Amino acid sequence: MIIVNLCKKPAIKCICKFNYCKKLGRRNHNTYICKTNEIYYLFFRRIIMRTKIITLLIVLSISFSYTYSVEHPCLLLTQKDIKDIKKSIGKYPLFDKSFEELKKIADGAVISKIEVPIPKDADGGYTHEKHIKNYNEMYAAGTLFQITKNVKYAKFIRNMLVDYAELYLKIGLHPSENSEIKGKLFWQALFDEIWLVHAASAYDCVYEYMDEFDRFYVEKNLFYPMADFISDGNKNNYAMFNKMHYNSTWATAAVGMIGYVMGNKELIAKALYGSKLDGKSGFIRQLDILFSPDGYFTEGPYYQGYSIWPFMAFAQAIENQQPSINIFKYRNQILLKAVNTAIQCTYNNEFFNLNDALSKTIKTQEIVYAVDLAFKNNPTDKQLLSIAEKQESFTISDAGLETAKAIHQKKTKPFDFQSLLLRDGPLGDEGGIAVMRQGNVDKQTCLTFKATSHGLSHGHYDKLSVALYDNGNSILPDYGSVRFLNIESKHGGNYTIENYSWAMQSIAHNTVTVDEHSHFNADIKLSSANHSNIEFFDILKPEQQVVSGVENNAYNGVSMRRTTALIKLDKFDSPIIIDIFRVKSDSAHTLDFPFYYNGQLVSTNFDYKKNSTELKPLGKKNGYQHLWLEATAKPTKPVACFTFLKDNRFYSISSLVKENTELMLTRIGANDTNYNLRNEPCFMIRQPDSKKQTFVTIIEPHGEFDLTKETVSNSQSNVEALQLPIDNELFTAATIESKNGGNYIFICVNKDFGDSKSRSLKLNGKTISFIGNYYIALY
């Protein structure tokens, strides 16, 4: 037999049973057939060598039913879906538009030369982007093949998969040194996993088209080795596959989805229940651990948005193939809740910029998937349709179709953006993020208050930090991360060193830094071992929303409590923020309290000295080295007021200061040798020599700057006076006098919290009584 003769390793017995030579004239038998067998052999040997006794038994028991027969496609598309989609093309313009976009990708792909380059580049580099383009094209072509039955799409996928199989035989680990968990096609295994999720879908679509030999070839040379590599390729991969991390979600989804397509029960079981099949890791366990009971993903909104994709995609495949698991009902519908929570973590379509976050909108493909699939699995949740309308994009699946159809039938309800507390931790007992909103959704005033656990590897040292949005803009921003995704010239598209030296540090956030050191000394182990707590969150009255958080572990011997209220008062034209930040210690410290602002300084009620002819960094380390010290001031009034303009609105920060308070104006950008940072400005309050300090601050949107009509109104703060008549272990009381008349008192409780507890205190001889954790009234 000619095949055998061509083998260079006669020791390995060739088990081919088909007349492959004729079918694949262009292929070199050496690499094709013989390598196939070698891999096939090695595959089994590896399983046998590595598996321990107990799991060996399980594997063996599974091996009896090692593969089973599947009706394809079986992942996000089913035969029934295909029929529905075919019938619907031309009926729903929104869906048609997305279909045409996908068709354009597929049509462009099938007329281009297939290129499967040897992996070389990092994020954003040629080979990186090419392999991403390839999987997107295969995904598109697969869907198009199912809907149109035009074999040009199937042929394209088949040829590309065969090329990938050939490539995969040749390559080892990716040469780039940017990641500890390397892939083979990509610098990071994560991307290999994403590749496999897409390739599995494409293969699913052309499974019936490809003949037995083709399937055998790509499964044995590509898909099995890849699934094996991802789940068990080396120590790091094995650990990640079984970790509670969103990368593990991609890993399990990839292995599970290719498992479904190939009808391989072992892969499916590993994906669902972990390598040891004991349920202590794997996809199902991730659903228990990675989301809090409120559907909050511990790494923060950006990664919540990113991870929701493999969660929802794999879940849909599970729902299609193993409906008995009832995956969308699992843990009180945790996945549907997580989609809702992801959207709740946005302002004006942008995700909150917390932890390692890049700019991300609800229009990204992962949120399109998430929304379509969530709606399909809970069609009563019609507010999702308003998000889909904004996305203007649909997955070409029955989920996308159902969503587009419902919009077409005018079933859309506006999404109910709420004030809410998103608890962190699997049990919801590791602090949380409070979101407070007031006003019409587009121009809404929205404050986020972060008192969570660390947030795994993507967490920041930002206990009790706040961020403010208003009038459609980010006003007091959180910096997010320092990363230029996919831009190779910027540290290979990965996080740059400033992500740690700047973005993660406490001083980069709108919270208090003690003695120029970050919370937990920026030690992830320490920080991960502790979490802040939310003491109360009261939104009973929509015009009075109050949250209080505490952090006692960030610094030895220092307790920090922040109580922040979003309150609409009659004499103020917009809701204002009343912010009480108490810092207590037995020894004296220097406290830095920055307000990063987005806008143009308009006026201050203090004279500042600008460093006009020379700039120096504010400090040497812990993030301070990245701040230029632009100006300094000594306050001369009891309240320091700082006003800036953003778009057509003014904002004032009015803060109670002492004689020794120092005011500073800084700008990000020092020690930024590679132009990686954004040069954003900051108003900073420094309180030196302080054992007990309570920062009382009013943050106030006001007035209008109308460039269309060339008019201005209320360009000055409305705060006439600010005082702190009571500040003890039980209560803090602040009075706010408005320039429009009206003197308000705000009282918050500092211990013994309880919504129904009766309180009483004396002020200037008068007794004030109230129930609950806070009090606000004219005084």
Residues involved in catalysis: 303, 458
Minimum Å gap between C-beta 331 and a copy of itself is 29
Minimum Å gap between C-beta 345 and a copy of itself is 17
- Examine residue 616 and tell whether it contacts a copy of itself (CB under 8 A): yes
Per CB under 8 A, which region of 112-120, 157-165, 451-459, 662-670 contacts a copy of itself? 662-670
Minimum Å gap between C-beta 61 and a copy of itself is 41
Distance CA 744, CA 437 (A): 21
Nearest partner of 192 among 176, 204, 214, judged by Cα = 176
Structure tokens at 428: 């919801």
Q: Identify any residues that bridge with 645 across adjacent strands, giving them in sequence order.
A: 600, 650
**Which residue bears the tokens 């040891």?**
276
- Examine residue 487 and tell whether it contacts a copy of itself (CB under 8 A): yes
Minimum Å gap between C-beta 255 and a copy of itself is 22
Minimum Å gap between C-beta 53 and a copy of itself is 43
Q: Which is nearer to a copy of itself, 601 or 721 (CB)?
A: 601
Q: Which is nearer to a copy of itself, 224 or 246 (CB)?
A: 246
Minimum Å gap between C-beta 387 and a copy of itself is 14
Residue 449 host element (H or E)? strand 445-451
Spell out the residues 6+ positions from residue 90 whose beta carbon is closer than 8 angstroms to its own. Answer: 96
Per CB under 8 A, which region of 162-170, 214-222, 233-241, 615-623 contacts a copy of itself? 615-623
AA identity, residue 624: Y
- Examine residue 103 and tell whether it contacts a copy of itself (CB under 8 A): no
Nearest partner of 119 among 55, 187, 53, 56, judged by Cα = 187
Note whether 628 and 615 are within 8 A (CB): yes
Cβ atoms < 10 Å from Cβ of 81: 22
- Examine residue 615 and tell whether it contacts a copy of itself (CB under 8 A): yes
DSSP assignment of 464-524: TEEEEEETTEEEE------B-TT-TTTGGGSB-HHIIIIITSGGGSSS-EETTB-GGGG-H
Per CB under 8 A, which region of 250-258, 481-489, 682-690, 731-739 contacts a copy of itself? 481-489
Per CB under 8 A, which region of 196-204, 211-219, 279-287, 609-617 contacts a copy of itself? 609-617
Per CB under 8 A, which region of 256-264, 325-333, 666-674, 721-729 contacts a copy of itself? 666-674
In whole angstroms, how far apart are CA 353 and each of 204, 325, 361, 416, 666? Answer: 37, 35, 11, 20, 21
SS3 assignment, position 51: coil
Q: How many residues does the chain have?
A: 779
Burial-class residue 363 by CB neighbours within 10 Å (0-12, 13-18, 19+): middle
- Examine residue 711 and tell whether it contacts a copy of itself (CB under 8 A): yes
Minimum Å gap between C-beta 102 and a copy of itself is 12
Cβ atoms < 10 Å from Cβ of 665: 21
- Examine residue 707 and tell whether it contacts a copy of itself (CB under 8 A): yes
Note whether 507 and 518 are within 8 A (CB): yes
- Examine residue 178 and tell whether it contacts a copy of itself (CB under 8 A): no
758: Cα separation from own chain's centroid: 41
637: Cα separation from own chain's centroid: 43
Q: Which is nearer to a copy of itself, 600 or 760 (CB)?
A: 600
Q: Which is nearer to a copy of itself, 214 or 516 (CB)?
A: 516
Tell me, by CB under 8 A, how many residues bind a copy of itself.
Answer: 54
- Examine residue 24 and tell whether it contacts a copy of itself (CB under 8 A): no
What does the DSSP 8-state code read for residue 278? Answer: S
SS3 assignment, position 43: helix
AA identity, residue 509: H
Q: Which is nearer to a copy of itself, 521 or 714 (CB)?
A: 714
Burial-class residue 70 by CB neighbours within 10 Å (0-12, 13-18, 19+): middle
Over the window 625 to 644, marking each residue x when it contacts a copy of itself by CB under 8 A and - when it does not, the resulting string is ---x--------------x-
- Examine residue 496 and tell whether it contacts a copy of itself (CB under 8 A): no
Per CB under 8 A, which region of 88-96, 408-416, 511-519, 710-718 contacts a copy of itself? 710-718
- Examine residue 486 and tell whether it contacts a copy of itself (CB under 8 A): yes
Can you tell me which of 324, 332, 380, 613 binds a copy of itself, judged by CB under 8 A? 613
Structure tokens at 628: 């230029």
Over the window 359 to 388, marking each residue x when it contacts a copy of itself by CB under 8 A and - when it does not, the resulting string is xxx-xxx-----------------------
Note whether 406 and 382 are within 8 A (CB): yes
Note whether 194 and 178 are within 8 A (CB): no
- Examine residue 659 and tell whether it contacts a copy of itself (CB under 8 A): no
Q: Which is nearer to a copy of itself, 4 or 615 (CB)?
A: 615
- Examine residue 670 and tell whether it contacts a copy of itself (CB under 8 A): yes
Site for a copy of itself in 184-223 (CB under 8 A): none
- Examine residue 389 and tell whether it contacts a copy of itself (CB under 8 A): no
Cis amide linkage into residue 73, ω under 30° from 0: yes
Can you tell me which of 500, 705, 753, 770 binds a copy of itself, judged by CB under 8 A? 705
Q: Which residues bind a copy of itself (CB under 8 A)?
A: 124, 129, 132-133, 136, 358-361, 363-365, 484-490, 493, 600-603, 610, 612-617, 628, 643, 645, 665, 667, 670-675, 678-679, 705, 707-713, 715-716
